[in-house]
Structure 1
Amino acid sequence: MSRIVYLNGQWLPEDEAKVSIFDRAFLMGDAIYEVTCVLDGMLLDYPGHAARLRRSAAELGLTLPLDDDALLAAHHEIVARNGMESGMIYLQLSRGVAERDFAYPPAGTEPTLVMFTQAKDVLVNPAAETGISVALVPDLRWGRRDIKTVQLLYPSMAKMEAKAQGADDAWLHEDGFVTEASAATAHIVTAAGTLVTRDLSHALLPGVTRSAILDLAARHGVTVEERAFTPDEARAAREAFITSATNFVVPVVRIDGAQIGDGTPGALTRELRAQYIATRRAAALAPA
């Protein structure tokens, strides 16, 4: 069955939704995006994703054509129109259609807003049971990684390099420190039980799931340090894991071939995943 997608205020079958070849997302990568998880037909951590979308738009001078209420309503409607119980909503906002030019088009150019769904059983994830391996890859992305742009070629290249090395994913590093995974936040747990996560800056995305996990850890008495950590610290960690909107918490059991802990998902990682799912499920946004 064809999905129903959103394009500039219209609800269309996916094969009828068309975007101009002159759209700046296509020509210049001049666009941002967000991904919101859906579980039980409801939105997980939606306020954080909406806030980050508006922050990204403000940083690039993009105009979001929907106010807060209309944006939330559109998320609920796309879930309903597609009868989706579990999966994700992808939203992309570009500066719109204009002649190809490095300079931004004049003020008043209509932006392009797209939304579509991807059905997925977000609760069943074999990697959460077995853990994943990661390879360390140099971070060669642009300097404003705090903005959630569609400039994803290098993260894709890094992930493919990791796979070529026999790993599941990449952890990126620069100047002697880990920044983040190819599409997730990187975390370690030290031998003393401290949860260490890189502090926010232009070097990495302010992960919505990251924020939730740090809050849950602190509430359960876990010492949290927001600071940069080295690849050697990561390899020597008791536990390691990644967080993202649709994968929640996934253990990392090998880094560059080095076994992490006993080579199985750690106790704190498993507990944080369970707590995240339970608390976010309980607080998920249902249609009004």
Structure 2
Amino acid sequence: MIYFIDGHFTRRDELRISIDDRGYYFGDGVYEVIKVYNDELFTLKEHFQRLFASAAKIKMTIPFSEQQLIDVAKELIKVNKISNGHIYMQVTRGSSPRTHHFPDPAVSAVVTAYAVEAERPVEDMENGVAVKSVDDIRWLRCDIKSLNLLGSVLAKQEAREAGCPEAILHRDGVVTEGSSTNMFGIKDGVVYTHPVSNLILEGITRHVVLDLCKDLEIPVVEEAFTLDEAFEMDEFFYTSTTAEVMPVTAIDGIAIGNGKRGRLTKKLQDAFSAKIPSPLKGSI
């Protein structure tokens, strides 16, 4: 596999990352995951715009232009022969002796990236999955797609130990998002999701789904709802770059609706699939 690091393409056994990298010490950096369908990057502009926005929020300068990083991503797809999968790209503040404050004088940020093959989770998208509710113990800047993911890691592990692929996070009973996803409920034909704020990541797939709701004339209310209200939804789903539109059939062992993928969820899945570069592998 060919990787990109700090301006160069290299093989895994030739990778060299400093022990003084601030990503290693502090999680001082940001990242993006960009989906690849049929050799093409999906919603690439939106992902790279968010990467630069996240960097700006932590006062970090990325030493490459948006177009240069897009070119890097495309080259990784090509040299690694990725058909369907994703690009992972992260930027750390750079390598410097360990101090909590920013390096002074400043050092150059370090960009690393790789590409992997990964098929769509077709079976789960058809059958749906169960999720587990977990207290949202993360920091108060979840709008930044940062490397500080320990809260999400612990939530995901708690869900996994309960036999669920994802956690539904809540603060004092109010649903925020998932450990790595955005959460949506459907009640009486209306889609509900937490509004954009510092408590959630403004997901790219979230945006795509909200646009699809508009196209399909499905009413949307961007308003926080409680975990108790989540149990009473007719349908439920979550979204992410890799999960797409994933039906939730149960929360904490309690069936949502009839315990199967709902009609509007399926309609949104079909509309989402129609936006993806074809041909696609798998059917939902």
TM-score, normalising length: structure 2: 0.95
Query: Which one of the candidate residues 113, 117, 120 is aligned to 2:118?
Result: 120
Q: Is 1:79 matched with 2:89?
A: no
Q: Is 1:156 matched with 2:153?
A: yes
Q: Is 1:275 matched with 2:271?
A: yes
| DSSP 3-state at the match of 1:80 | helix
Query: Which one of the candidate residues 133, 142, 158 is aligned to 1:136?
Result: 133
Report what 1:285 is aligned to: none
Offset at 1:167?
A: 2.8
- CA offsets per residue over residues 104-161 of structure 1, 9 Å max, x none? 1025411110001121112x43211111111110000011000001111221111121
Query: Which one of the candidate residues 44, 47, 53 is aligned to 2:45?
Result: 47
Query: Which one of the candidate residues 144, 149, 172 is aligned to 1:147?
Result: 144
Q: Is 1:241 matched with 2:248?
A: no
- CA offsets per residue over residues 82-103 of structure 1, 9 Å max, x none? 1110100000000000010011
Amino acid at match of 1:209: T
Does the aligned pair in 2 maintain the 1:248–1:277 contact within 8 Å?
Answer: no
Does the aligned pair in 1 maintain the 2:49–2:66 contact within 8 Å?
Answer: no
Runs of at least 5 residues in structure 2 that lack an aligned partner in the other structure: 279-284
Report what 2:35 is aligned to: 37
Report what 2:164 is aligned to: 167
| DSSP 3-state at the match of 2:157 | helix
**Following the alignment from structure 2 to structure 1, what is the Cα–Cα distance between the partners of residues 168 and 41?**
28
**Following the alignment from structure 2 to structure 1, what is the Cα–Cα distance between the partners of residues 105 and 233?**
50
Report what 2:92 is aligned to: 94
**Following the alignment from structure 1 to structure 2, what is the Cα–Cα distance between the partners of residues 10 and 55?**
24
Amino acid at match of 1:37: K
Does the aligned pair in 2 maintain the 1:45–1:280 contact within 8 Å?
Answer: no
- CA offsets per residue over residues 232-260 of structure 1, 9 Å max, x none? 11100010001001211110000111101
Seen in structure 2, the aligned counterparts of structure 1 residues 107 and 248 have a Cα distance that, compared at 3 Å, is farther
Does the aligned pair in 1 maintain the 2:86–2:117 contact within 8 Å?
Answer: yes
Runs of at least 5 residues in structure 1 that lack an aligned partner in the other structure: 283-288
Offset at 1:68?
A: 2.2
Amino acid at match of 2:244: F
**Following the alignment from structure 1 to structure 2, what is the Cα–Cα distance between the partners of residues 273 and 125?**
11
Does the aligned pair in 2 maintain the 1:133–1:167 contact within 8 Å?
Answer: yes
Amino acid at match of 1:105: P
Offset at 1:168?
A: 2.9
**Following the alignment from structure 1 to structure 2, what is the Cα–Cα distance between the partners of residues 233 and 185?**
16
**Following the alignment from structure 2 to structure 1, what is the Cα–Cα distance between the partners of residues 197 and 101?**
27
Report what 2:282 is aligned to: none
Report what 1:219 is aligned to: 215
**Following the alignment from structure 1 to structure 2, what is the Cα–Cα distance between the partners of residues 26 and 111?**
13
**Following the alignment from structure 2 to structure 1, what is the Cα–Cα distance between the partners of residues 16 and 265?**
42
| DSSP 3-state at the match of 1:281 | coil
Amino acid at match of 1:182: S
Amino acid at match of 1:201: S
**Following the alignment from structure 2 to structure 1, what is the Cα–Cα distance between the partners of residues 53 and 277?**
25
Q: Which moved more, 1:159-168 or 1:204-213?
A: 159-168
Offset at 1:164?
A: 2.4
Q: Is 1:258 matched with 2:254?
A: yes
Query: Which one of the candidate residues 12, 16, 21 is aligned to 1:14?
Result: 12
Work out the number of aligned pairs and report it.
Answer: 278
| DSSP 3-state at the match of 2:100 | coil
Amino acid at match of 1:249: V
Offset at 1:279?
A: 1.2
Does the aligned pair in 2 maintain the 1:148–1:205 contact within 8 Å?
Answer: yes
Offset at 1:176?
A: 2.5
Does the aligned pair in 2 maintain the 1:92–1:113 contact within 8 Å?
Answer: yes
